[in-house]
Chain A
Amino acid sequence: AQSVTQPDIHITVSEGASLELRCNYSYGATPYLFWYVQSPGQGLQLLLKYFSGDTLVQGIKGFEAEFKRSQSSFNLRKPSVHWSDAAEYFCAVGPNKLVFGAGTILRVKS
């Protein structure tokens, strides 16, 4: 069965600092991988996705993620964090039934 692990429950970074959120997945075939963001009281919004091809994918709001098959990872990165990036981030694996990780809460210090 497919699964996703997000090892960090909370991460705090200073505004302007770089960010990396970790995601490890388990899937028997070629996965479809996603990062979603959820602001307080809001639904989930798709940040970026990987289906195939270039393993470095660009998303909205300046985020990027790199698919590493050998490490079963799909880590999310941003070179310079803004206060508005504070939210909860979910990694998910598909296709078919989309399975989400437990999420990482990002706090941004000013």
Chain B
Amino acid sequence: EAGVAQSPRYKIIEKRQSVAFWCNPISGHATLYWYQQILGQGPKLLIQFQNNGVVDDSQLPKDRFSAERLKGVDSTLKIQPAKLEDSAVYLCASSSPKTGPNTGELFFGEGSRLTVL
């Protein structure tokens, strides 16, 4: 079974530029998550999708971050304009319908590392 795919793996941009990250979850996983992991910290949930609907985006900085999952499969996370403090690894995860979206059994991608200069 293929895992969670993310791209790009690495991105370097200057502040005020924009960037987009793509995620393709495990086939059949209806729930998709974007986490932000700042160096030295644990992952923090940015947004959770159930199919193509948003379940939780309470910690998403909506003035600069946006995310979509138009067809209920893959997803894009965008940052515009980027700030220095957005430097982090952006992790995408999905969860199995067998265990349900709220059990915490998540399957993570390898992450996209963003450096903002």
Which residues of A are interface residues toward B (Cβ below 8 A)? 4, 32, 34, 36, 41-46, 49, 51, 90, 92, 94-103
Q: Hey, what's the 0/1 contact readout for B98-117 against A, CB within 8 Å counting as 1? A: 00001111111111000000
Residues of A near B3 (CB, < 8 A) are: 43
Closest 10 CB pairs of A and B: A100-B42, A43-B108, A94-B104, A44-B108, A95-B102, A98-B104, A43-B110, A100-B43, A102-B42, A96-B102
C-alpha spacing A39/B4, complex, angstroms? 16
What band does the interface of chain B fall in when counting residues whose beta carbon is under 8 Å from A?
Answer: 20 to 34
Mark B residues whose CB is within 8 Å of A. Answer: 3-4, 40-45, 48, 56, 91, 93, 102-111
Chain A residues within 8 Å of B109, by CB: 43
- The answer to whether A100 and B44 have CB atoms under 8 Å apart is yes
Contact A41 B104 (CB under 8 A): no
In the complex, what residues of B have CB within 8 A of residue A99's CB? Answer: 42, 45
- Sample of 25 A–B contacts (CB below 8 Å): A34-B104, A43-B3, A43-B4, A43-B93, A43-B109, A44-B108, A46-B105, A46-B106, A46-B107, A49-B104, A49-B105, A90-B42, A92-B42, A95-B102, A97-B45, A97-B56, A98-B45, A98-B106, A99-B42, A100-B42, A100-B43, A101-B42, A102-B40, A102-B41, A103-B42
